[in-house]
Amino acid sequence: MEYLHSHNTLYVCLVFLVVFIVIKSTSTAFKPGLRSIPGPFIARFSCLYRPWKIAKGDAPDFYRRLHQQYGPIVRTGPNTVDISDPKAIPIIYGINSKFLKSPFYDTFHPVYEDNPMPSMFSVRDPVQHQALRRPVAQKFSMSSIKALEPFANECTNIFVDAMRDLEGQCVDLSVWLQWYAFDVIGAITFQRRFGFMEKRQDVEGMIDALDKGLYYGGIVSQVPALHHWLLGNRWVAKFIAMQPFIDVAHPLRTILEFTQKCIDDYDRNSADHADRPDFLAWLRGEETKGKPMPNRDMINHLSNNLLAGSDTTAISLRAIIYFLVKNVSAYHKLQHEIDQADQAGRISEYITYAECLELPYLQAVMKEAMRCHPGVSFPLERVVPEGGATFSDIHLKQGTIVGINPAVIHHDKTMFGDDADAFRPERWIESSEAHIKLMDRHLMTFGYGSRTCIGKNISIMEMGKLVPQIIRHFQLEWASDQPEWNVQTFFFAKQHGLKCRLRRRQQVPQP
């Protein structure tokens, strides 16, 4: 009897649990303010809809299809709404916006000494963000970039020499451009290249580890609560690190350990570093001026350079080369602009940041490539603040998660024209000045508002120096047996299979 009684009690508890879950899911699905928003039926009930749909790595196409089917505002989860209305951009992301980052970003916190360490990218509190940004903002300014250019020149020289060595062969530039970006940011940060280009391999498996980390973050961040039961849990993370059966990549730990090693090496030989312009030397120099920085913050800033500054620049470089190779007219126009500048003596042996800004078609090509293929191609999630907000005549209550996906908004035809799906750099030159400014205000390549990527100028500098150097010295052609590249998107839209053949150009004829 006791056995039957205990089992009956268990069944009753299970029934009550199921009933509770059904009632809660139903009440959330038909929550006032959200129930009228169109979207996939299952998304109303389950937060697992999004990770299930984006697990294939095709998030940009997935979100574009949703908006084509349901309109400018789509419900993608029980409490999540995706928006494609350009008018919503300044409301959600503007300088004075009260929309704060959602728990999505908690998944991307590095862990330092067993505790989460919010970075400038992942921190959600605007006060903490400003506190992190203030001590280093000067080093990221345009006026500070000039001192960093020699690092990029060294890496550009290595890259060009390697392409000469590989002349006529099928070269996977998707790999080489990542190696270049990683080596440049390593030199800028520590005056120390990782050696990817010289060794022609993924040093210590760092890039592969970062790819796996992005896959984890891209999926788990869709349901942030899961992170606290997975790698966000210190005991789970320690167990996974200690168990001998499966080799689990831990990219954040690898980068943090490398950063600490570089700091230790610098401090052991500090007398030899008086004139170094890299980030580490600059931060140590600021300390001598009475601006001490805790080691945790030092680690945070330097490692964030590597984590945020390699993938994003590599993605943009790949996009520029891809769209040029696939659009012969644009390729020839850019080549002509560079040749003319070369013949007129307006560009140096190593093109400077200032010189690249004076090449209007180059700047249009760069901007258009990043519009067509933004590095971040997930919705940039924010939380509706107190008082709620109205979009497309729909009022959303406080606490609703909203987001705009750059990969969707950058293809908006009301903003970028009926040919918004096409790569056409001329739109940034031939349009009226007023319309160019309007398009500029709706680009989200580097984020938006107060959360714009602090490393934007460094990334543009790298691209503006390397791309014209490649076009100046080589003729590129598509060499893959596949008609297109392959893109896998887990927050970053990373491209693979950018296979080209490079041939040294003959001496450019004089005009």
Residues marked as binding for heme? 453
Close Cβ partners of 199 (under 8 Å, ≥ 6 residues apart) = none
Q: Can you count the helices (H) and strands (E) in the chain? A: 23, 14
Q: Count CA within 13 A, CB hemisphere, residue 204.
A: 12
Going from the C-alpha of 223 to that of each of 86, 160, 229, the distances in angstroms are 26, 44, 11
* The residue to which tokens 């300088």 are assigned: 95
C-alpha span between 313 and 452 (Å, rounded) = 15
* The residue to which tokens 């080596």 are assigned: 183
Q: Over the range 268-292, which residues count as b (16 or more CB within 10 Å of their CB) and which as e?
A: eeeeeeeebbbbbbbbbebeeeeee
- For 45-174, strand residue ranges (E) read 73-77, 80-83, 100-101, 111-112, 115-116, 170-172
Annotated binding site: 453
β-pairing verdict for 170-172 and 401-403: unpaired
State whether residue 128 is helix, strand or coil. helix
Q: Is the dihedral of CA 466, 467, 472, 476 positive or negative?
A: positive
C-alpha span between 259 and 414 (Å, rounded) = 45
Burial (CB < 10 A; 0-12, 13-18, 19+), residue 458, is buried
State whether residue 93 is helix, strand or coil. helix
* The residue to which tokens 């005549």 are assigned: 393
C-alpha span between 325 and 336 (Å, rounded) = 15
State whether residue 173 is helix, strand or coil. helix
Amino acid at position 460, single letter: I
C-alpha span between 243 and 158 (Å, rounded) = 40
- Residue 277 has φ and ψ, to the nearest 5°, of -100, 5
Going from the C-alpha of 292 to that of each of 81, 278, 286, the distances in angstroms are 43, 17, 7
State whether residue 162 is helix, strand or coil. helix
